[in-house]
Amino acid sequence: MKKLQVKDIVKIKKDIINQELILRQSKKINVIVHMGTCGIASGAQRILDTLLKKIAESKISKEIMISRTGCIGFCGREPMVTIEMSGQEPVIYQELNQEKILEIFEQHILRGQPLSSYALARGRQQQVKERIKQKRELPSEAITEKLIPGIEEIPFYRNQELRVLRNRGLIDPEKIEDYIARDGYKGMAQALTAMNPDEIISEVMTSGLRGRGGAGFPTGLKWQFTAREKSETKYVICNADEGDPGAYMNRSILEGDPHSVIEGMVIAAKAIGAHQGYIYCRAEYPLAIKILNKAIDQAKEWGLIGVDILGTGFDFDLKIYRGAGAFVCGEETALMRSIEGKRGVPRPRPPFPAKAGLWEKPTVLNNTETLANIPQIILNGSTWFASVGTEKSKGTKIFALTGDVNNVGLVEVPIGTTLETIIFNIGGGIPEGKKFKAAQIGGPSGGCIPSQHLNAPIDYETIKELGAIMGSGGLIVINEDKSAVDIARFFMDFCQEESCGKCTPCREGTKRLSEILNNIWEGKGKEGDIELLEKLANILKDTALCGLGQTAPNPVLTTIRYFREEYEAQIGGKKRHKKFTLYH
């Protein structure tokens, strides 16, 4: 493969789309199996094997194309398959198994009759807005089957705003061509040829993009600080050490659209003047690492990373670094120590990584989701990016909606969307007619938001006022059966286990807090325990060295703030709630 030039990107896009059209015209049917980790764990591989076998045996095998993509987002309904047939709308099938796929093969693939009973919807999630405007009838496609709802009628998809996840369920993550056909690497080409570092930084700054990993620091500002440092060597790091239990949006991006992250990193590198990047990915995500490795190899082969990218003279090399299972390594200074091959313990800031980061060189570290936003900001402009969101928090955020909620899955919405919309509209409410108790946002660093605040818009500031943090976007719904004390105990045990032990407030504080909470939970609570918890929690918040310790008290403090009577009842010996753990 010869190295690409800038003009090639546009040409390649056209060529690929043309080839695709020709291919599609020769193939009447495209069968897409959605294969993220969730899908594979639910049996997508067996579905794919069955389909491959059946198709190979059939008389029309030459007319059928079979492709695979990453996760389609509706994790609770996996495994899922989409069937596109010429002259028909695409049909998305859900909750498949061997029998169902065989039936679908006979009826839909061979006879062209969609099976409404197994279908979730018709249409593409990327076309929801268009379909609403056109009153569900896209001119190019005939309505397939009235019994199957249009995708815009499914609340889970109707109210999402797909930007970072715009390619989900659509492209094959192992084919760089698919990404380029969707305007991939165009933002990078623009940044490398038509913009200087100041212009890139200013575009990101005016977009209002803030860090999606938790704290919400303005990305453009972080880049500016690093760009101003004078140093021959600088680094760009992608934080893919998604350790918050209940959050998996980074995994989904890396598995489904890895090039968006790579492209974002090259743009960041150009902005700050770095030529080496690292993606620090947790070892618990083997499929993400495999797909990333392939994506990096392809990008190198095409000359989109490496030496003299697109003939612009800009060099950028990229490596994956596999984490080794330590939650604290999500903290930036700890993560950099870990890349250096040392114990991943944080260090005091300042100096901030912008000045002295990896190997004491100026370093920008961004979250995976933050970086995946970058190419589109460059391509579509900061005004486009800021067209959704709130005054201080622009753009969209992905939430991993799980727990006691009907529609489990990944949800991308404009920042400022209310909890109620996410849980009751997109999420379809609480199963089994139970009542909503609280939403746990932000994992072990976050807190529980109760029903009286369901109307609060989710943005960085509001969430903080309510006692939680946006965090990486884990959103776990908890129903009325579960105890607030048990939730607090669960997270404190987690933080205590994951505390690195370097600073005393965190090492000792999490231990004592966890002891008191366990005592209360086991009915051995004493009068004054609540006040002691509050006092200790506040000391820990003020004195811990890093984010892990400073935010560890949030689950305790929010549950005391909103469910104090449960603590009192528990200490008074009256257990009013069943355990947090309930089997459904």
Partner 1 sequence: MEDQMNKVLLQEFSSKQLIQLDEIIAKYRKEPGGLILLLEDAQDIIGYLPMIVLKKIAYETDIPLSQIYGVVTFYSFFTMKLRGRHTIQICLGTACYVKGGKENAQVIEKEYQVKPGETTLDRRFTYETVRCLGVCGLAPVMVVDGEVYGRVQPSKVIEILEKYK
- C-alpha–C-alpha distance, residues 302 and 5, integer Å: 10
- Closer residue to partner 1, CB minimum distance, 180 or 339: 339
HEC string of 448-508?
EEEHHHCCCECCHHHHHHCCCCCCCCEEEEEECCECHHHHHHHHHHHHHHHCCCCCHHHHH
CA trace torsion 26, 32, 33, 38 (10° rounding): 150
Judged by CB under 8 A, which stretch of 90-98, 320-328, 370-378, 389-397 contacts partner 1?
A: 320-328
Q: Does 583 bind partner 1 (CB under 8 A)?
A: yes
Does residue 578 touch partner 1 according to CB under 8 A? Answer: no
Instruction: Decide if residue 404 touches partner 1 (CB under 8 A).
Output: yes
Q: Which of 63, 229, 284, 480 binds partner 1 (CB under 8 A)?
A: 284
In the list 9, 69, 78, 289, the residue contacting partner 1 (rule: CB under 8 A) is 78
Angle at 474 between CA 378 and CA 284, to 5 degrees: 90
- Amino acid letter at 131? R
Minimum separation from the CB atom of position 447 to partner 1 (A) = 13
Query: Per CB under 8 A, does 474 bind partner 1?
Result: yes
Using the rule CB under 8 A, give the single segment among 19-27, 86-94, 474-482, 516-524 that binds partner 1. 474-482
The residues pairing with 91 across neighbouring beta strands, listed in sequence order, are: 83, 122
CB of 248 to partner 1, least distance (A): 4
> Using the rule CB under 8 A, is 443 a contact of partner 1?
yes
Is 283 a binder of partner 1 (CB under 8 A)?
yes
Given candidates 88, 239, 373, 440, which one binds partner 1 under the rule CB under 8 A? 440
359 is a contact residue toward partner 1 (CB under 8 A): yes
The dihedral through the CA atoms of 543, 218, 442, 320 has a sign that is: negative
Dist CA 463 CA 456 (whole Å)? 8
**Alpha-carbon span 286 to 280, nearest angstrom:** 13
CA dist 519 to 216, 453, 493, 581, 583, Å?
35, 30, 13, 18, 24
408 binds partner 1 (CB under 8 A): yes
Out of 80, 371, 411, 476, name the contact with partner 1 by CB under 8 A: 476
Contacts of 71 (CB under 8 A, 6+ apart): 34, 35, 36, 37, 38, 39, 78, 168, 169, 252, 255, 256, 410
CB of 365 within 8 A of CB of 239?
yes
Q: Which is nearer to partner 1, 16 or 484 (CB)?
A: 484
**Left if phi > 0, otherwise alpha if psi is -120 to 50, otherwise beta: which for 389?**
left
We find the least distance from the C-beta atom of residue 104 to partner 1, in angstroms, to be: 22
Among 70, 76, 277, 549, binds partner 1 (CB under 8 A): 76
**Residue 155 tokens, joined:** 């609340």
Instruction: For residue 273, give the nearest of 309, 232, 307, 304 by alpha carbon.
Output: 232
Q: What residue has token string 């005939």?
A: 142
Selected binder of partner 1 within 403, 447, 450, 553 (CB under 8 A): 403
Burial class for 114, CB neighbours closer than 10 Å (0-12, 13-18, 19+): buried
Nearer to partner 1, 109 or 476 (CB): 476
41 versus 142: smaller Cβ distance to partner 1: 41
Q: How far is the CB of 329 from partner 1 (least distance, A)?
A: 8
**For partner 1, which residue of 321, 385, 436, 567 counts as binding (CB under 8 A)?**
321
480 binds partner 1 per the rule CB under 8 A: no
Q: What is the DSSP letter of 114?
A: -
User: Which C-beta is closer to partner 1: that of 26 or that of 359?
Assistant: 359
Rule CB under 8 A: is residue 89 a binding residue for partner 1? no
Name which of 14 and 342 has its Cβ closer to partner 1: 342
- Please tell me the distance from the alpha carbon of residue 500 to that of residue 441, in angstroms, as a whole number: 23
Binding residue for partner 1, selected from 490, 521, 562, 567, defined by CB under 8 A: 490
CB of 404 to partner 1, least distance (A): 7
Name the segment binding partner 1 (CB under 8 A); options: 50-58, 228-236, 282-290, 346-354. 282-290
Q: How many residues bind partner 1 (CB under 8 A)?
A: 59
Q: Which is nearer to partner 1, 143 or 287 (CB)?
A: 287
Alpha carbon distance 227, 229 (integer Å): 6
| Gap between the Cα atoms of 314 and 482, Å rounded | 55
Q: Which of 10, 22, 23, 41 binds partner 1 (CB under 8 A)?
A: 41
User: What binding mask, one character per residue, do residues 333-352 give for partner 1 by CB under 8 A, x or -?
Assistant: -----xxxxxxxx-------
Q: Does 580 interact with partner 1 (rule: CB under 8 A)? A: yes
Applying CB under 8 A, among 178, 482, 483, 530 the residue interacting with partner 1 is 482
**Minimum distance between the CB of residue 73 and partner 1, rounded to whole angstroms?**
9
Sites for partner 1 among residues 236-255 (CB under 8 A)? 242-248, 251
**Residue 247: what residue type?**
A
Nearest C-alpha neighbor of 516 from the set 550, 482, 540: 540
Give min distance, CB of 363 to partner 1, in A: 13
Instruction: Please name the amino acid found at residue 347.
Output: R
Q: Bridge-partner residues for 4, per DSSP?
A: none
Q: Does 189 bind partner 1 (CB under 8 A)?
A: no
State how far the Cα of 373 lies from the Cα of 204, in Å rounded to an integer: 10
Out of 220, 353, 409, 505, point to the residue binding partner 1 (CB under 8 A): 409
Residues 126, 123: Cα–Cα separation, whole Å: 9
Contacts with partner 1 by CB under 8 A lie at 37-38, 40-42, 75-76, 78, 242-248, 251, 283-286, 321-327, 338-345, 359, 400, 402-404, 408-409, 440, 443, 474, 476, 478, 482, 490-491, 494, 497-498, 500, 580-584
